[in-house]
Amino acid sequence: DSYPWLSVYKTKGNYLNYITVGVDSLGNIFSSPDYTYRSGQVGKKDNGEVYFKYRYVLKSGYIVSLVSIHQAFTDITLKEYIEYNEANGIAGWTDNLIYPRIIDRDPFIEFYFSSCMTCTNSQQFSLGEINEMLENGTIEEHFTKLK
């Protein structure tokens, strides 16, 4: 799958398996994920491990994902979130369940963003190409640095 935007970022902590929520400048949650096993955004391995299909770790500790600069990380693992959703027949948690579980409202050390609603396949980048951009210091030629 390809998306019209993506982010490359580094965080203060290891939040790879935790869900994010959108938080506005007043600290209010304005978006939360609707993950289920059928949502298409997550996968489950034979050993039961649950993973984000669109969150990748690069060599240098950067992450490629579909998050925005306005995301906050929670201490809710993807597996916990999905299992709760599946057990309760829902796709997402209420804000009052998520809010006390937010652990980092400003998680990003660096954040690069690319948005291209009209990109062709030749304008999209592989993970290897993004790794090279980071290693060569050319990422800002293709992504906008937001932090």
**Residues 101-142 pLDDT 10s:** 999 999 999 999 887 654 554 457 888 999 999 999 999 988
pLDDT along the chain (147 residues), means of 10: 70 93 92 84 88 88 90 95 91 92 96 70 74 92 90
The token duo for 118 is 């009209």
Q: How many domains does the chain have?
A: 1
**Please, where are the H alpha helices in 1-147?**
78-88, 95-98, 127-136
Phi, psi of 36 (to 5 degrees): -140, 175
Q: What is the pTM of this model?
A: 0.84
Domain holding 34, by residue range, is: 5-145
